[in-house]
């Protein structure tokens, strides 16, 4: 294996693998270093149009399409139980000229598809992990736990929330916790979901069911940590009854529940997304609660943007990891990242708030979205892809 690269991606989750393939697609000599992610990660990710376009470009979509379900509509239901209930609102993809907003993709299948393309297109070093990153004047050295040494002028830190790459670049973070956890499972049901993803807004957090192929859906049920632990420990029958109280009317008889997993909710942002030869991708740069399906979409935009900036620099004979490339990365990504982190934070906290005016303001926002077509269309377009920050690799 050649050990001298133009870019090394640390971390082989979906965001890291996709970034590595974006580097390779744009002609850079790239390596991805890290352990193989769990192919049986029972989660799914709703990936919007631009993310699907990126997967097409880097060659991973053909193996995924048949296991993914088009998202034709997103329905919001106010289940807060307040006196002034906001009206139900459904956003249809066809309103903005699309067949679907994107697809609901199995996270494990996504990793398998990306790994299989990566095997032929870049250096994929399966390792227990990177142990040390030394940042030097003109390049960075990555040392794996197995003692393999790799060098490159640019490191893409896709190594998750406790990122070693971020620490090596001396980048600080702001971190906070929410009094919530998400219970995640998949299940089948008797009624057709019609390609509609449904988000029930409850006082302790949203409960979302997202369509999967056939008569099946994935569930992200946000509740208090205590209630999430209780729900996860229930028998399938008891869990079925608990879920039926919320979505039975929409999906009919439910069965075939996958093992349930619980994810505590937290938030985090890095103070800067690129510095000292390191660009942060995915959760190393930002953690968002699983509300509104934004996290991985944002992470894929990170990787594609960093790859484009590095490839442009290399094509001009410049250093792809130079300070000005990373400053441009920070400038191009910051608005998108901040907008998503703080909008999701606001949406989540508005549900948790005890104050009536906050609930009234949230309800008024939903009424406006239902009533004002151009506003609804703008929110739909910006929700799936920000007009100011969509990398070229994601343009149809």
Ligand X SMILES: Cc1cc2nc3c(=O)[nH]c(=O)nc-3n(C[C@H](O)[C@H](O)[C@H](O)COP(=O)(O)OP(=O)(O)OC[C@H]3O[C@@H](n4cnc5c(N)ncnc54)[C@H](O)[C@@H]3O)c2cc1C
Find the binder of ligand X among 12, 150, 278, 337 (CB under 6 A).
12
Residues 28-87 that bind ligand X (CB under 6 A): 33-35, 37, 43, 45-46
What's the closest the beta carbon of residue 280 comes to ligand X, in angstroms?
A: 9
Is 207 within 8 Å of 200 (Cβ atoms)? yes
Among 254, 272, 293, 325, binds ligand X (CB under 6 A): 293
Is the distance from CB of 170 to CB of 194 less than 8 angstroms?
no
Stretch of 62-70, 272-280, 293-301, 381-389 lying at the interface with ligand X (CB under 6 A)? 293-301
Distance set, CA 102 to CA 48, 129, 251, 290 (Å): 4, 32, 21, 17
Q: Is 278 in the site for ligand X (CB under 6 A)?
A: no
CB of 317 to ligand X, least distance (A): 31
* DSSP 8-state assignment for residue 4: B
Q: Is residue 263 a contact residue for ligand X (CB under 6 A)?
A: yes
Residue with tokens 């994601």: 394
Does position 283 interact with ligand X (CB under 6 A)? The reply is yes
| Residue showing the smallest CB distance to ligand X in the complex | 282
Binding segment (CB under 6 A) for ligand X, from list 20-28, 69-77, 251-259, 294-302: 294-302
Instruction: Give the interface size with ligand X as a residue count (CB under 6 A).
Output: 33
Specify the residue, 33 or 389, whose C-beta has the smaller distance to ligand X: 33
Confirm or reject binding of residue 159 to ligand X (CB under 6 A): yes
- Output 313 or 344, the one with its CB closest to ligand X: 344
> Which token pair is 328?
């441009």
CB of 281 or CB of 314, closer to ligand X: 281
Asked whether the beta carbons of 109 and 64 are under 8 A apart, the reply is yes
> What residues does 264 pair with on adjacent strands?
181
How many C-beta neighbours within 10 Å does residue 150 have? 24
- Identify whether the C-beta of residue 189 lies closer than 8 Å to the C-beta of residue 253: yes
- Reduced 3-state DSSP string for 321-385: CCHHHHHHHHHHHHHHHHHHHHHHHHHHHHHHCCCHHHHHHHHHHHHHHHHCHHHHHHHHHHHHC
Q: Is 269 in the site for ligand X (CB under 6 A)?
A: no
Query: What backbone phi and psi angles, to 5 degrees, belong to 287?
Result: -115, 130
Pick the closer one to ligand X by CB: 153 or 205.
205
DSSP class per residue in 291-337: SSS-HHHHHHHHHHHHHHHHHHHHHTTS-TTSHHHHHHHHHHHHHHH
Coil, strand, or helix at residue 12?
coil
Interface residue with ligand X among 6, 8, 11, 329 (CB under 6 A) is: 11
* 383 is a site residue for ligand X (CB under 6 A): no
Pick between residue 296 and residue 314 the one whose CB is nearest to ligand X.
Answer: 296
Say if residue 387 is exposed, middle or buried (CB neighbours under 10 Å; 0-12, 13-18, 19+): exposed
For ligand X, the closer of residues 277 and 359 by Cβ is 277
Residue 324 tokens read as: 């000005």
Q: Which two tokens stand for residue 210?
A: 């997202």
**Which uninterrupted H or E stretch holds 110?**
helix 107-121
234 with 227: CB under 8 angstroms? no
- Identify which of residues 46 and 278 has a Cβ nearer to ligand X in the complex: 46
**Pairing mode of beta strands 7-10, 30-34:** parallel
User: Which CB sits closer to ligand X, 110 or 313?
Assistant: 110
185 binds ligand X (CB under 6 A): no
Residue range at the interface with ligand X (CB under 6 A); choices 14-22, 66-74, 149-157, 343-351: 14-22
Considering the complex, state which of residue 363 and residue 391 has its C-beta at the smaller distance from ligand X.
391
d(CA 347, CA 292): 9
220 binds ligand X (CB under 6 A): yes
Smaller CB separation from ligand X, 126 or 190: 126
- With binding defined as CB under 6 A, does residue 305 bind ligand X? no
* Contacting positions for ligand X (CB under 6 A): 10-16, 33-35, 37, 43, 45-46, 129-130, 158-160, 164, 182, 184, 220, 263, 282-283, 290, 293-297, 299
């Amino acid at each position: 294996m050649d050990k001298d690269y133009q870019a090394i991606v640390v971390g082989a989750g979906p965001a890291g693998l996709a970034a590595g393939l974006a580097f390779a697609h744009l002609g850079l000599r790239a390596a991805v270093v890290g352990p193989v992610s769990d192919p049986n990660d029972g989660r799914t990710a709703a990936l919007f149009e631009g993310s699907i376009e990126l997967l097409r470009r880097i060659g991973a979509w053909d193996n995924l399409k048949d296991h993914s379900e088009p998202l034709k509509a997103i329905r919001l239901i106010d289940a807060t139980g307040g006196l002034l209930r906001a009206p139900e609102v459904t956003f249809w993809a066809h309103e903005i000229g699309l067949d679907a907003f994107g697809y609901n993709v199995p996270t494990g299948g996504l990793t398998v598809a990306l790994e299989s393309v990566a095997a032929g297109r870049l250096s994929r070093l399966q390792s227990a992990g990177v142990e040390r990153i030394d940042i030097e004047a003109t390049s960075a050295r990555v040392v794996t736990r197995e003692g393999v040494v790799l060098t490159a002028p640019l490191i893409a830190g896709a190594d998750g929330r406790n990122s070693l790459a971020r620490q090596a670049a001396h980048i600080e973070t702001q971190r906070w916790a929410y009094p919530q956890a998400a219970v995640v499972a998949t299940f089948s049901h008797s009624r057709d979901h019609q390609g509609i993803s449904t988000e029930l807004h409850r006082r302790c957090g949203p409960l979302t069911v997202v369509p999967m192929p056939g008569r099946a859906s994935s569930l992200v049920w946000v509740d208090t940590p205590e209630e999430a632990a209780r729900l996860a420990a229930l028998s399938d029958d008891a869990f079925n009854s608990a879920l039926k109280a919320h979505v039975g009317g929409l999906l009919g008889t439910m069965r075939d529940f996958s093992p349930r997993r619980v994810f505590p909710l937290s938030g985090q942002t890095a103070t800067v997304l690129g510095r000292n030869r390191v660009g942060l991708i995915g959760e190393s740069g930002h953690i968002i609660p699983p509300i509104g399906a934004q996290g991985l979409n944002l992470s894929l935009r990170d990787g594609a943007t960093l790859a484009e900036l590095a490839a442009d620099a290399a094509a001009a004979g410049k250093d792809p990891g130079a300070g000005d490339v990373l400053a441009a990365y920070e400038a191009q990504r910051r608005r998108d990242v901040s907008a998503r982190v703080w909008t999701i934070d606001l949406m989540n906290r508005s549900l948790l708030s005890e104050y009536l005016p906050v609930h009234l303001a949230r309800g008024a926002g939903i009424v406006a979205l239902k009533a004002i077509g151009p506003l609804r269309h703008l929110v739909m377009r910006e929700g799936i892809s920000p007009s100011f920050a969509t990398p070229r690799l994601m343009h149809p």
